[in-house]
Every structure is written in C-alpha cells, then in structure tokens.
C-alpha cells in the first residue's frame, strides 16, 4: 500500500514538472495570437470608419445640392432621379456589400482560429487559455474587441438607414408622368382639349389606366382649378346617377369633402343633373351627364 502511494506521488510530480515547463510558451503564443487579432480588428475598423466617413460626406453633399436645386427640381425631375441613383444608391449599396464581405471575412477568421484551437492545440493548452481568459488582464482587450464589433454594427445600421432614405426620396420625386400629363404631389393629371359626355370621358380615362379626377383635399382642388380657363368647365369623377342626392366618386367612395357653388347641386332640367363639373374658381356644379364637356383624368405617378 505504501509503495502504491509513493508511485502516485512520483507520477503527480512528473505531471507537475511537465506543466511547469509548458505555460511560458503557451502564454507567449497566446499573447502573440491576441496581438495579431487586435491589429487585424483595428485595421478593419479604420477601413470601415473611412468608408463610413466617405459615405457621410457624399450624403452631406447630396443634401446641400438638394437644398440649392429645390427651385428648379420640378422642371428637371428626371435628372434629379438619375443623379441620386448614381451618387447614392450605387455607392451606398457597394459600400454596404463591402461591409458585409468584411463581416463575413471576420467570421471566417474567427472560425479558423477556433478550428485551430480544436485541432492543433492540445487539451492542456485549451485549459490554460480558459484560465487566462478569466483573468483581469484580458478584460480590457475583450472590451475593445466588443466595442469594435458594436461600432461595425452601428456603421451597418447607418448605411441601411441612408439607403432607405434614398429610396424614400426617389419615391417622393415622381418622374413617371406620361407626356402631356401634369403632376401634383405623387399623382398625374390629364386635362383634355376635346369634349365628351361624362360616361365617354370616364371610359377614356379607363383606357389609360386612370379614372376621372377625385378631389381629396383643398390643395388638390386649387391645383385643378388653376389649370382651367375662365370660360371652361371640366368633368370630375363624381356622380349621383345611381341614387339622387347620394354623390359618390368613381372609386365607390361617398362624398365627404365638397366645394359646391352656391345653390348647387340643384338637379334642374328635364333630364336632371347627375354629374359634377369644376370651374376655374374651384367651385363645383351639377350638370346633365349627356353634355359634351372637357374632362380631367387622374392616375398614380
């Protein structure tokens, strides 16, 4: 029994002596790896910050350009769209793609380092690394690495927000109105130069993927009136031919906002007056639907 205890003590001392010779090399190797990883992450951060700075300067220049060119924007919307697409969308998407590639490269490096630890290092070295990672000496380095990761996440979020703002600006600046159509907000309007009865005018608008004009606001009503000559009236997409007094727009909505002329609608005459028209003053009148009058078509931009 005493011999067995002595043999165990000898074996234990042999293991301790083996471990005593290895820690200094393991610690040196660990610090070299950590230094290389830190330098790599610092380089990535500097590159990302420069790219973000360049993108921010491009956005700031675009903002100043947008403010200076606001007075002429309505007359050259196509050029604004092309300029925005070239200056923002392509560049920001490319930068965002490069950031995604950098993130993937970082993940690949981390995966390779983990694989190296699992395949190349032995169990003793891994145990030693765990002990060292728990020490206070490594906490500042780990915090810096976490801050770098958070900075990368914030930069990616900023670029995503910038791309979204660019898409929103492209939607606001409508450049797709057909030739001969007038733009108001994000809607296109066609003011006819010929005359038709109300139903024929309604069919004409339908053929162009549009409908007779529907007035949703006072500003829109003023816009329509400003395009009408003093001696003209135009058909609107408003009628009560289905039920007298129940005025509805061509999209089926009931009338909620109105600009009727004084005493209107009055439904006078033998055939009645079941279709609405608009004057240059912006006031409305009910008229006989079979009369031939100019009309206004409306469609989305």
What are the residue boundaries of the structural domains of the chain, listed by start?
2-172, 182-300
Instruction: Report d(CA 117, CA 129) in Å as an integer.
Output: 10
At residue 111's C-alpha, the angle toward residues 107 and 114, to 5°, is 140
What are the angstrom distances between the C-alpha of 217 and each of 98, 202, 222, 236, 258? 46, 21, 9, 14, 9
Global pTM reads 0.45
> Which residue did the predictor score with more confidence, 157 or 12?
157
DSSP state of 239: E
At residue 71 the predicted structure's pLDDT band, cuts being 50, 70 and 90, is: very low
Q: What is the dihedral of CA 135, 42, 29, 141, to 10 degrees?
A: 0
Token pair belonging to 130: 């765990």
Which of 264, 234, 236 has the alpha carbon at shortest distance from 250? 236
Model pLDDT for residues 76-90, shown as the tens digit of each residue: 555 655 665 566 556
**How many residues are listed for the chain in this entry?**
301
3-state SS assignment for residue 52: helix
Model pLDDT for residues 238-285, shown as the tens digit of each residue: 999 999 999 999 999 999 999 999 999 999 988 899 999 999 999 999
Helices (H), 122-217: 123-133, 139-172, 198-207
Answer whether 173's CB lies under 8 Å from 80's CB: yes
Q: What is the CATH number of domain 182-300?
A: 3.10.100.10
């Amino acid at each position: 029994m005493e011999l067995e205890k002595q043999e165990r003590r000898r074996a234990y001392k042999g293991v301790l002596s083996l471990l005593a010779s290895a820690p200094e090399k393991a610690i040196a190797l660990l610090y070299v790896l950590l230094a290389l990883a830190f330098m790599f992450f610092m380089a990535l951060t500097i590159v990302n910050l420069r790219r973000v700075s360049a993108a921010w300067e491009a956005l700031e220049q675009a903002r100043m350009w947008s403010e200076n060119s606001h007075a002429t924007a309505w007359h050259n919307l196509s050029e604004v769209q092309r300029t925005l697409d070239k200056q923002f969308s392509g560049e920001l998407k490319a930068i965002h793609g490069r950031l995604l590639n950098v993130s993937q490269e970082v993940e690949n490096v981390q995966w390779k380092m983990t694989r190296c630890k699992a395949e190349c290092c032995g169990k003793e070295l891994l145990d030693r690394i765990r002990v060292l990672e728990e020490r206070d000496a490594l906490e500042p380095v780990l915090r810096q690495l976490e801050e770098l990761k958070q900075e990368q996440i914030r930069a990616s979020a900023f670029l995503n927000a910038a791309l979204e703002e660019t898409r929103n600006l492209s939607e606001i600046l409508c450049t797709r109105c057909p030739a001969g159509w007038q733009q108001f907000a994000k809607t296109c309007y066609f003011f006819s130069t010929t005359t038709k009865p109300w139903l024929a005018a309604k069919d004409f608008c339908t053929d162009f993927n549009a409908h007779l004009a529907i007035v949703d606001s006072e500003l829109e009503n003023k816009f329509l009136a400003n395009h009408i000559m003093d001696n003209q009236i135009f058909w609107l997409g408003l009628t009560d031919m289905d039920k007298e007094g129940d005025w509805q727009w061509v999209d089926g909505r009931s009338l909620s906002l109105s600009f009727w002329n004084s005493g209107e609608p009055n439904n006078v005459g033998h055939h009645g007056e079941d279709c609405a028209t608009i004057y240059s003053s912006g006031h409305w009148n009910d008229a006989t639907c079979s009369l031939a009058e100019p009309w206004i078509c409306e469609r989305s931009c």
